[in-house]
Each structure stands twice: as structure tokens, then as C-alpha cells.
């Protein structure tokens, strides 16, 4: 491990027109750390997550992943926007899992997983497929390789989506409310996969409403509201003894 944090955000801000979605987010995620972000909807959690892999452009502050500025290159005092190719290259190291899975419906589970490694990293089909089967085994879907997304339950689809993100061998995994679109009885199987991933030492940032998961798995819990970090710290402490009024109000509604 190096002393450079995996994710370093310094006063990150983001506007959509006049709407200031992020108003200076500062936080640090070390390698191997699991950070959970909670907060009411519209608080900017998802936007912040999408800034980390440059799906959204950061408007202010500094955001870097593994010591590299996201979306920009610094030369002296000046910042240069990255070319699309360079931005894509940065994303190779960052896996993302979406609320609505976003599996490719015209491809089987294995094809979903092998597409990017083959097209981006130039892996051979045999190698990529072998790796895909390994990953499907890991998320407990070893027998579903040939299934199309429509034939899988939501929980199974989300696990395939996790395997798809892992296939690029990311250093960092981003989860954008990975269980919010799931029926309650399917949440557990996805959280189990995520717990296993956390145990294996993956650096993870998880936007979630699953307080139980946050309490159990997170090293740090961040409460966000109206584009700022209201409170951050050990999950047990924040969940049982919130310091800030807004945190208290939010937790009283969700716990």
C-alpha cells in the first residue's frame, strides 16, 4: 500500500446549470477501504459517484483516483481536459455498478462480461470467457453463463453486473444504490457478494440505503445532504450517536 489515497476529493463541486449539486465535497478513501455514502435523495451522492469515473465533469475543486487527477491533466498551473480516449483509459481502473443494472440485453451473461475485456483490453475470447466463468462462479451464478438478462431475476442481473465490472480488474469499485431496484427478498444475495468483495480487500464506494450493510461492512460512513458532507466517521458511531441535526432527522426516518 502506498501513502497516496485511492480517492482524494478536495472541495469537489458540480453544477447542473444554476443548480449546485455538489458544493465542495472533501473526503479520502484509502486502498482497501469501504466507504458508504448515505443521505436523502437529491443530496448529490450519485452525482459524486459519477464524478469519480468521469461520467460527470467536475466543475470545481480537485478529484483524483490513485494519485491521478480525474478528467484533467495538470501542466504547471494549468489544467487540460483529457481526450475521450484518455478518460476512457482512466475508467479501466474503476468499476461501476448501477441501480438499474444496465446489463446489455442482447448479450448473454458471459458476453456481457467479456465484451469490455475483449474490446478494450484486447483479451482473446477464450481467455475472456474463462475469466467470465470464474467471475460468475464467484458471484454464485456459475450455471447462468448462457442466460440472457431478461431470463435472470433482478438479484441475479445485479450479480452479473458486478462480475462484469470486476472483469476489467478495477482498483476501485463504485456502487450506485445497487439494491434500490430490487425486490426485498433479493437484496441479500447482492449484499452477500458485495460483502465478500469487501473482505477480499477491494476498495469500494457504496451509495446505499442499506443501513445494516453500512454498519456491518463500511469502514467509514459519510452522510451527505444538499451537496455537502454533513458528517463522516465510523458507521457504528454515526448510526448510534449522530452529532448533526440533519443526520439525526434522516436516520430517524430510515432506521
Partner 1 sequence: MSEPESDRMIEAEPGRTPRAGRGRDADNAPPEAIVAIPLRHPWRILIAVVLLLGLAVFVLDAAQRADYGWPDVGKYIFDRRISQAAWVTLWLTIYSMIGAIVIGLLLAIMRLSPNPVLKSIAWLYIWIFRGTPVYVQLVFWGIVSLIYPVFTLGIPFTTPWVTVPNEIFTNLFITAVIGLALNEAAYMSEIVRAGLLSVDEGQEEASTALAMSWGQTMRYVVVPQAMKIIIPPTGNEVISMLKTTSLVAAIPLSVDLYGVSRGISAVTFTPVPLLIVASLWYLLFTSVLMVGQHFIEKRFSRGTGRVKTGKEPAAPEAPPTAGPGAPGAPLGTDFGGRG
The residue ranges that bind partner 1 (CB under 8 A) are 53, 55, 84-85, 88-89, 91-92, 94-96, 98, 100-106, 108, 115-116, 119-120, 143-155, 157, 161, 164-165, 168, 181-183, 186
53 vs 220, beta carbon nearer partner 1: 53
Q: Where are the beta strands (DSSP E) in the chain?
A: 7-16, 19-29, 34-38, 60-65, 68-69, 72-75, 78-81, 94-97, 172-176, 203-207, 220-225, 228-233
DSSP letters spanning 78-122: EEEEPPHHHHHHHHTTEEEE-TT----TTS-HHHHHHHHHHHTS-
List for the chain the helix, strand, coil content (%; round to 5): 40, 25, 35
The cell 448533526 sits on which residue? 244
Nearest CB to partner 1, comparing residues 191 and 230: 191
Q: Are 23 and 13 in contact (CB under 8 A)?
A: yes
Comparing CB distances to partner 1, the nearer of 114 and 247 is 114
- The H helix count followed by the E strand count for the chain is 9, 12
Q: C-beta of 217: minimal distance to partner 1 in Å?
A: 22
Beta carbon of residue 144, minimum distance to partner 1 (angstroms, whole number): 5
Would you say 57 or 248 has its CB closer to partner 1? 57
Are 113 and 138 in contact, with CB atoms under 8 Å apart?
A: no
In whole angstroms, the minimum distance from the beta carbon of 176 to partner 1 comes to: 10
CB closer to partner 1 out of 84 and 255: 84
Amino acid at each position: 500500500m502506498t501513502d497516496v489515497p485511492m480517492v482524494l476529493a478536495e472541495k469537489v463541486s458540480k453544477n447542473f446549470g444554476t443548480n449546485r449539486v455538489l458544493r465542495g465535497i472533501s473526503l479520502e478513501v484509502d486502498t482497501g477501504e469501504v466507504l458508504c455514502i448515505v443521505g436523502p435523495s437529491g443530496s448529490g451522492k450519485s452525482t459524486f459517484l459519477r464524478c469519480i469515473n468521469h461520467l460527470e465533469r467536475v466543475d470545481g475543486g480537485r478529484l483524483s483516483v490513485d494519485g491521478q487527477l480525474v478528467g484533467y491533466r495538470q501542466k504547471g498551473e494549468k489544467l487540460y481536459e483529457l481526450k475521450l480516449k484518455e478518460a476512457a483509459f482512466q475508467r479501466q481502473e474503476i468499476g461501476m455498478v448501477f441501480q438499474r443494472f444496465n446489463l446489455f440485453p442482447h448479450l448473454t451473461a458471459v458476453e456481457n462480461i467479456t465484451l469490455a475485456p475483449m474490446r478494450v483490453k484486447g483479451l482473446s475470447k477464450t481467455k475472456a470467457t474463462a475469466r467470465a466463468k470464474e467471475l460468475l462462479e464467484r458471484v454464485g451464478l456459475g450455471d447462468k453463463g448462457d442466460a440472457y438478462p431478461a431470463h435472470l431475476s433482478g438479484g441475479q442481473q445485479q450479480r452479473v453486473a458486478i462480475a462484469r465490472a470486476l472483469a476489467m480488474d478495477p482498483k476501485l469499485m463504485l456502487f450506485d444504490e445497487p439494491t434500490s431496484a430490487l425486490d426485498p427478498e433479493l437484496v441479500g444475495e447482492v449484499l452477500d457478494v458485495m460483502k465478500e468483495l469487501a473482505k477480499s480487500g477491494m476498495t469500494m464506494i457504496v451509495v446505499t440505503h442499506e443501513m445494516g450493510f453500512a454498519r456491518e461492512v463500511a469502514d467509514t460512513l459519510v452522510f451527505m445532504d444538499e451537496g455537502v458532507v454533513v458528517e463522516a466517521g465510523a458507521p457504528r458511531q454515526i448510526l448510534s450517536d449522530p452529532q448533526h441535526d440533519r443526520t439525526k432527522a434522516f436516520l430517524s426516518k430510515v432506521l
